[in-house]
Structure 1
Amino acid sequence: MGHWFYINIVEPGKLPLFLALGSFVLTFLITRTITRMIRAGKGPFRNVSGAGGVHIHHVVPGVVLTIVGGFGAVATGREGVAPCVFAVVFGMGAGLVLDEFALILHLDDVYWSDDGRKSVEVVVLTASLVMLTLAGFSPLGVNELTSDERENRAAFVLSLVVNFLFVLVALFKGKFRMAVVGTLVPFVAIVGALRLARPGSLWARKAYAKRPKARARAGLRAFHHDKRWNKAVRRFQDVVGGFQERASR
């Protein structure tokens, strides 16, 4: 295990990214645990208020830690212990910020509402992308090119452009998750681009405007997909985010 860790993480210079991911996930889980305890009135933790009784959300220290970690990492370069320390600081800040992503998005305290589920979704998506990066995946399929193709500038640029177009099509078709993951795994973007667009997406409004059969098929496919997966996704979000606990009180 130690040899594998050195060969795949330390030697390629991925240790700061590994530490940032670990502190990001750990901070998110600890924060969710504390907020659930505060909501339930258990433990020693309490909400923090500033001058005038204003509730200070943890996104505030999260922004500070993200700025310190980011600028610190840029300033210290890649050698020594400092990049690892700042990577941990950055991961902690990112965990605090993205835990309240839904509040930033809606500019409202939706932490325990259905809209607050977006925070859990963004955290899971971010952690997944970082893990793919740690595993060696490069943006837009660069990792799939041979050494000869990398040296051939035309082939290199063409590969980037084609894969980027697949990502854009998937995004326009309302396949946000597939588009994001597809930036690192082009096959996912290709699947998202080739499948029917989700109802209400930009692609569906433009391409299916005069094609009622295509609109009907797209709506039926989206219905069956959501029926199959939404329940499992919501159960996972309930376990991680504590939304079910909130609804039961």
Structure 2
Amino acid sequence: MSLTVTVTMAVIAGGCGRDDEPEPAPAPPAPSVSPGLVVLSDVDHRILTDIRYATTYNFVGRRVDGYPEPLCLLTVRAAEALRSVQDAALAVGRSLKVYDCYRPQRATDDFLNWAREPGQDTMKAEFYPRVAKAELVDRGYLGVPSAHSRGSTVDVTLVDVPPPEQHRFEPGQPLLDCTAPRTQRFADNSVDMGTGFDCFDPLSHTDSDRVGRTARENRRQLRQLMTDGGFVGYDREWWHFRLRDEPWPDTYFDLPVTRSSTD
């Protein structure tokens, strides 16, 4: 397999990967190492996957750099912890569904380059309807480095069991405001979380009191399941969780999201 290159850079506060705890300071340059990634479905095929950055249905509106395959890659430790969370979720009639897992550094760079480019606002009406694209970095919705690039962070939701059919996004279809009531948003088969995934808006803050009671309870349940399973949440994104005891707390990797990037 190909080995990775450690990425070190100054921290810019930002979502899509910042935890509620401060990011560890970047480590000094180190020899190339392998993060020991596995494909989540090989560890637990019961966990649903909906890897949005490998599709055109995301806030950029195209496949993100570094996602040639729609896979959830994680460190062994994170994948095994998530399997335990899935056991607990199934016991209460729900399943986990992941939107993003390991994210190569090149993908985070792609987000920032996109944010700096004028125009290319094709998905604004759905993912950031109340924020100007030029403000996404300053407001903390995008930034580097991302905890996802360390291999033990997931973007995740809950789905009822048996899972409802997942609606497929077709390019060119009308966009739907991610902050709208559930029946007026994109038909994700997730339970109601108050907003869609990757909704850049204060309503996505984990403890927002502006979402309905059902959504607040679903967020509470997800947070409890993940916390009990050894993960730490992020206060600005109800979907974002980092393994507390992650094996690479200060190393950022840039392997592409492919099966060939696993051991």
Same fold, TM exceeding 0.5?
no
Relative to the length of structure 2, the TM-score reads 0.23
Name which structure has the greater RCO, CA cutoff 8 Å, separation 6+.
2
Relative to the length of structure 1, the TM-score reads 0.24
Q: Choose between structure 1 and 2: higher helix proportion.
A: 1
From the CA coordinates, give the structure whose radius of gyration is larger.
1
